Chains A and B, each alone.
Chain A
Amino acid sequence: MNGYLINRARAFSSEVYRFFAFQWEVARRLFRPPYYPKAVWEQMDRIGVDSLSIVVMVGFFTGFVLAFQIGYAMMRFGAKLYVGGIVAVSLVRELGPVLIAMVFAGRVGAGITAELGAMQVSEQIDAMKALATDPLRKLVMTRFLASVLMLPVLVVIGDLIGILGGMLVGVLNLGLTVSFYKSSVVNSLVLNDLFSGLLKPLVFGAMISLVACYFGLNTKGGTRGVGEAVTRTVVVSSVLIFLLDALITKLLFLIGI
C-alpha cells in the first residue's frame, strides 16, 4: 500500500516535471520565428468562431439564471435595483471566465488533444520532425497563440450576452427599466473588474492549450490512448481552471485590484 502510494507520487511528480519541461520548450520558441501566421489564423477561426454558438448559449443562460436568483434574493431586502450591477460584476470577474473556460476545455482542449493524439499514434508527428519541421512550432505554438487570443474574446462576448440575459429577467420579471438596468451595470463595473475579467481567460487559454497539446503529443497506445488522453485533458484543465482562478483572485486582492 505504501509502495503503491510512493510509486503514484513518483509518477505524478515526474509527469509534472515533464509538463513544466514542455512549457519551457514552448516558451523558448515564443520569441523566435517562424510563427506560421497563416496557421495561427486558421486555428483562431476554428477555435474561436466555431465556439461562438456555445459561448453565446452559456453566457445567456448564466446571466439569465443569475439575475433570476439574485433578483429573488434581493426582493426580500427591497434591493432589486442592484441586480444589474451584481450580475455584471459576478459575470465579468468570475462566472464568465470560469464557465466559458470550462466549455473551452471541453470543446477546444479535447479537440486539440484528440487531433494531436491521432497524429502521434499514426506517426504524423514523427513524419513532421523527419521532414525537419518542429511540431512544437507548427502545432503547439499556433494553437497556443490562437487560444490565448481567442478565449478572452469569447469571454467578453459571453459576458455581454450574459448581461443581456440578465436584463431580460430584470425587465420582464423584476419590473426594472432598460435604462435603469444599464446604468446599474455601467456604474458598478470598474476598470479593475475588467482587468481581472481579461487576465483570467488569458491565463486559462494558455493553460488549456498547453495541457491539451501536452497530453496530445504524449499519447501512447493507439486509439484507446487517444481517448484516455482526451479525458486527461478535460479533467486536468478543469481542475486547473479552479485552482488558477482561486490563485489569481487571491493575488489580485492582495495587490488591490
Chain B
Amino acid sequence: MIDIKDIEKSFEGKQVLKGVSLSLQDGETIVILGRSGCGKSVLLKIILRLLVQDRGAVIIDGIDTSRFREEQMMPLRKRIGMLFQGAALFDSLNVMENVAYSLREHTKMPEAEVRDKVAECLEFVELSGTEALMPSELSGGMKKRVALARAMAIGPSYMFYDEPTTGLDPLTSRKINQLIRKLQAERRVSSIVVTHEIANAFQVADRFVVIKDGEILLTGSASEVRGSKLKFVQDFIKGGVIGHGEQ
C-alpha cells in the first residue's frame, strides 16, 4: 500500500501541489485525471523521490520515505515500475539492453534466462523481434511499449503509468489497457494511471482521482465520476472546454 499525505510542492515560487493526500490499496488501479500542467507527473515523481516534496509524507508499504537518502530509496524503487511520459529509454542501449536493464542490475539471472524474459516482456507489448533495434529507430508508440516492457521486466508490485496510451492507435491502446488489467489480475499489481483519454480511463480504473488547482477535487468510482455534478468533471468527461483559472 502506498500512502501519500498532504504533499505540497512548489517550483520557483509557483505552488503546483497544495496538499494532496491519496492512498493506493493493494491490487487497486487508480486513474488520475487533471489538466495538462496540474502536477500529475510531479506527483508520481515525488512518490519515487525523483523530486522531493516541500511538505508531506510518502509511505510505501509502511515505510515513511520523507527523510530518506537516495540509496535508501533503492530497495523501494525496485518494487515500483514507472512508465515515463516521454518513455525515457536509454538511447545508447538497444531494445534488448533497455528491457534487460533491471534484470541485469538486480538479479543474478543467467544470460539465457534474461533473453527469455526479455522476449516474454516484448511479446506482452507486441514487439517481439525488436531486440536489436536502437531507440532512435522506434516510433513514438513503440518507445512507449518498450518502456513499459522495461518497467515491468523485474516484476514490480506497483506500476505507475504516465499517459500510457497517449499517441497510440486505438488497437494498441486497448492492448495496453488489457495489459494493465492483466498485471492487476494475475500479479496483483497496484497501479496509478495518469491519462487524458477518458475512454481508456474507464476501461482500467477501480477509482478515479481528479486533481484541480493543485488539490484533489474528487475521488470516487466510475459511476461517481459519471454522476458528478461538478462542472469541471463533466467538462473533462465530455472533453469539452474546461473551466477557468487553471495553471
Which residues of A does B touch, CB under 8 Å? 25, 119, 122-124, 126-134, 136
User: With contacts A126-B45, A126-B50 known, is A132 near B102, CB below 8 A?
Assistant: yes
The SS class assigned to the B binding surface is: helix
Starting from the known contacts A130-B77, A131-B150, 19 additional A-B residue pairs (CB-CB under 8 Å) come to: A123-B84, A123-B85, A123-B86, A124-B88, A126-B45, A127-B82, A127-B84, A127-B88, A127-B89, A129-B48, A129-B70, A130-B48, A131-B105, A132-B102, A132-B105, A132-B106, A133-B102, A134-B71, A136-B70
Chain A residues near B45 (CB-CB < 8 A): 126
User: With contacts A122-B88, A123-B86, A127-B88 known, is A134 near B70, CB below 8 A?
Assistant: yes
Q: Are B71 and A126 in contact (CB under 8 A)?
A: no
In this assembly, does B174 line the interface, its C-beta being within 8 Å of a C-beta of chain A?
Answer: no
Q: What total of chain B residues lie within 8 Å of the partner, measured CB to CB?
A: 25
User: With contacts A122-B86, A124-B88 known, is A130 near B80, CB below 8 A?
Assistant: yes
Q: Are A122 and B77 in contact (CB under 8 A)?
A: no
Report A2 CB to chain B, min CB distance, Å.
23
Chain B residues near A122 (CB-CB < 8 A): 86, 88, 91
Bound-complex Cα distance A122 to B82 (A):
15
* Partner pick for A127 among B71, B74, B80, B90, CB 8 A cutoff: B90
In this assembly, does B227 line the interface, its C-beta being within 8 Å of a C-beta of chain A?
Answer: no
Q: Which residue of A lies closest to B45 (CB)?
A: A126
User: With contacts A123-B84, A124-B88, A124-B90 known, is A130 near B50, CB below 8 A?
Assistant: yes
* Partner pick for A129 among B75, B77, B101, CB 8 A cutoff: B77
Bound-complex Cα distance A127 to B90 (A):
8
Bound-complex Cα distance A127 to B71 (A):
15
Bound-complex Cα distance A136 to B70 (A):
10
Quick one: which of B98-119 are within 8 Å of A by CB?
Answer: 101-102, 105-106
In this assembly, does B78 line the interface, its C-beta being within 8 Å of a C-beta of chain A?
Answer: yes
* Partner pick for B84 among A126, A133, A136, CB 8 A cutoff: A126
A to B CB contacts below 8 Å, 14 in the list:
A122-B91, A123-B85, A124-B89, A126-B45, A126-B50, A127-B82, A129-B50, A129-B70, A130-B50, A130-B77, A132-B75, A132-B77, A133-B102, A133-B105
Q: Are B82 and A130 in contact (CB under 8 A)?
A: yes
Bound-complex Cα distance A25 to B71 (A):
11
User: With contacts A131-B101, A131-B102, A131-B105 known, is A123 near B88, CB below 8 A?
Assistant: yes
Chain B residues near A119 (CB-CB < 8 A): 90
User: With contacts A122-B91, A126-B50 known, is A132 near B74, CB below 8 A?
Assistant: yes
Bound-complex Cα distance A131 to B104 (A):
11
Report B150 CB to chain A, min CB distance, Å.
7
Q: Which residue of A lies closest to B51 (CB)?
A: A126
Chain A residues near B150 (CB-CB < 8 A): 131
Bound-complex Cα distance A143 to B63 (A):
34
Report B164 CB to chain A, min CB distance, Å.
15
Bound-complex Cα distance A129 to B90 (A):
12
Report A116 CB to chain B, min CB distance, Å.
12
Please list the 3 inter-chain residue pairs (A to B) with the smallest Cβ-Cβ separation, ordered nearest first. Answer: A127-B88, A123-B88, A132-B77
Bound-complex Cα distance A130 to B101 (A):
12
Quick one: which of B209-238 are within 8 Å of A by CB?
Answer: none
Chain B residues near A132 (CB-CB < 8 A): 74-75, 77-78, 102, 105-106
Chain A residues near B70 (CB-CB < 8 A): 25, 129, 134, 136
Report B88 CB to chain A, min CB distance, Å.
4
Chain B residues near A134 (CB-CB < 8 A): 70-71, 74
Bound-complex Cα distance A147 to B214 (A):
45
Q: Which of A129, A130, A134 has the most CB of B within 10 A?
A: A130
